[in-house]
Amino acid sequence: MHVGMILLCWLEIGSISMNDLFPPLSLAAHTPDNSFMGFVAEELNETERLAIQRNKLNNMAVVYGKEASMWKGKATFLTTLHRYMEIHGTVYFETQRPPEVPAFVKNHGLLAQAELQQLLRRAKLFIGFGFPYEGPAPLEAIANGCIFLQPKFNPPHSSLNHEFFRGKPTSRKVSSQHPYAEQHVGRPHVYTVDFNNSEEFDAAIREIMRIDVEPYLPYEYTCEGMLERLHAYIQNQPNSSVLAWASNASDFPSWPPLSALRLVASLEGQSCVEACQNAELFCEPALFRFINIREAFNALDFPCEGLDSEMNHLLPAFSAEQAECGLQQDPLLFSCAGSSIKYRRLCPCRDYRNGQVALCRDCL
C-alpha cells in the first residue's frame, strides 16, 4: 500500500471495553460500546528507508501544531531550539503571520499530506508543545525517521486540571502529550522531557543532534498489525447479550483468555493503569468481571470486615481505614483509570505482545 497517509478505523461491534485502555488506539472511544481499531501508517521499503536516512538534515526541526493557538506561550522553547536548529512550521493563516509564530520560523502554511511527508522525511526532529493529545502525527513522523520530542506533564493532565478533559466521563491521567509514544516507543525515537526545566530541554536537543535513528513503525500500526487485531476482535468479541450475564462469568468463555489475568492490588492513591504498569503488565477492563468477587479480596489477603456493593468506578477496592471491601454493582463502570487515597483497588492486569499491546500473549 502506498497511500502516504494515515487511516483511522472504527469498528462498532459492541463490547470489549477499549475505553481508557490503549491511547492512541482508544482515541474517540469514550464509551465501552465502541471499539476503536487504531491507526495504520504506511510502511517503507528498504530503498525508501535508505533514501530517508541519506536525505536527513541534522539541524531541521518541524513543529507539531497547525493552529497558531498551539504555539502560544512557547517563545522560550522556540528560542532555545532555534539556537541549534532551523525551525519549520505548518501553521495556517490567511494574511498576516500570527504573533505566536516567531519570524525565525520557516512557515509552510497548511501542507497537503504528501508535502508534509516530504518535510518530515528531511527533518531530524518533530517537536510537540503539549497539544493535541495522542494524535497520529507523531507516529507518522517517527515512521519517517524523525525523533519526537514532547513535554512530560507533571502533574499529569486530567479532567481535574485541564479544560480539554473537563466534564468528560474519564478519570484518565495523561502523563505526556503522547503516552503511547512515551511508554511503548521511547528512546531513541521519543524523548519525553520536562520542557520547563531548561537544562533538561537543552540537553535533550543536544543529544538528539548527536544520534542517528532509523525510521520506525511499531507492528500494531502496520496494515498487517491492524488486520491481526481486527481478526482477533471479530473472532472473539462476546456479544452484548452475553455481557448482560457477565456476573455469571464462569459460564462463558473469556476473551482475552483468563490465563492472561494477573490480579494486582494498587497502592492507595494509585490507579489500576499505574498498578499494572508497575508490574510491566496492562490493565484489561474486560477482565474486571472475574475479579469482582469476594474471593479476590481473600487472594490478596485483604481482611474484609464488611462486603458491600456500590456504584463507583473505583470498585472493586479495599478501604484500609474501615477494613471494608467494596464490589462493583454496575459492570458498565469498570475502569482502569481513577484513584483515591481512600482505596487500594483490585486490578485485572494482563500480559501483552510487544508491538501489539492490545492483545495478550495467548490472545491469538
Ligand X SMILES: *[C@@H]1O[C@H](CO)[C@@H](O)[C@H](O)[C@H]1NC(C)=O
Window 130 to 189, contacts with ligand X (CB under 6 A): 130, 151, 153
Distance set, CA 44 to CA 39, 85, 121, 143, 157 (Å): 16, 26, 12, 8, 34
Tell the smallest beta-carbon distance from residue 342 to ligand X (Å). Answer: 28
- Applying CB under 6 A, the site for ligand X has a residue count of 14
Q: By CB under 6 A, tell whether 241 contacts ligand X.
A: yes
With contact defined as beta carbons under 8 Å apart, do 213 and 185 qualify? no
How far apart, in whole angstroms, are the C-alpha atoms of residue 15 and residue 114? 37
How far apart, in whole angstroms, are the C-alpha atoms of residue 200 and residue 43? 33
Q: Which amino acid is at 153?
A: F
CA-closest candidate to residue 286, choices 265, 260, 307, 318: 260
Tell the smallest beta-carbon distance from residue 130 to ligand X (Å). Answer: 5
Tell the smallest beta-carbon distance from residue 346 to ligand X (Å). Answer: 19
DSSP annotation string for 328-343 = ES-GGG--S----TT-
Window 29 to 48, contacts with ligand X (CB under 6 A): 45, 47-48
Whose Cβ is closer to ligand X: residue 175's or residue 356's? 175
User: Of 10-18, 99-107, 238-246, 348-356, which part binds ligand X (CB under 6 A)?
Assistant: 238-246
The C-alpha cell at 49 is 528507508
How far apart, in whole angstroms, are the C-alpha atoms of residue 76 and residue 211? 24
Tell the smallest beta-carbon distance from residue 67 to ligand X (Å). Answer: 17
| β-bridge pairing 86-89 and 106-107 | parallel
Residue from 248, 280, 295, 301 that binds ligand X (CB under 6 A)? 248
Whose Cβ is closer to ligand X: residue 31's or residue 196's? 196
How far apart, in whole angstroms, are the C-alpha atoms of residue 355 and residue 229? 11
Whose Cβ is closer to ligand X: residue 48's or residue 202's? 48
Whose cell is 495478550? That residue is: 360
Residue from 161, 196, 235, 259 that binds ligand X (CB under 6 A)? 196
Q: By CB under 6 A, tell whether 76 contacts ligand X.
A: no
Distance set, CA 135 to CA 31, 60, 244, 340 (Å): 19, 22, 34, 29
Whose Cβ is closer to ligand X: residue 103's or residue 114's? 114
Whose Cβ is closer to ligand X: residue 69's or residue 196's? 196
The C-alpha cell at 167 is 466534564
Residue from 2, 54, 83, 210 that binds ligand X (CB under 6 A)? 2
User: Of 27-35, 216-224, 234-242, 313-321, which part binds ligand X (CB under 6 A)?
Assistant: 234-242
Tell the smallest beta-carbon distance from residue 155 to ligand X (Å). Answer: 9
User: Mask: binding to ligand X, 79-118, rule CB under 6 A, as x and -?
Assistant: ----------------------------------------
The C-alpha cell at 121 is 522525511
User: Of 202-210, 240-248, 307-315, 321-329, which part binds ligand X (CB under 6 A)?
Assistant: 240-248
User: Mask: binding to ligand X, 112-131, rule CB under 6 A, as x and -?
Assistant: ------------------x-
How far apart, in whole angstroms, are the C-alpha atoms of residue 229 and residue 227? 5
The crossing angle, in degrees rounded to 10, of helices 46-55 and 113-122 is 60
Residues that bind ligand X (CB under 6 A): 2, 45, 47-48, 130, 151, 153, 195-196, 239, 241-242, 248, 251
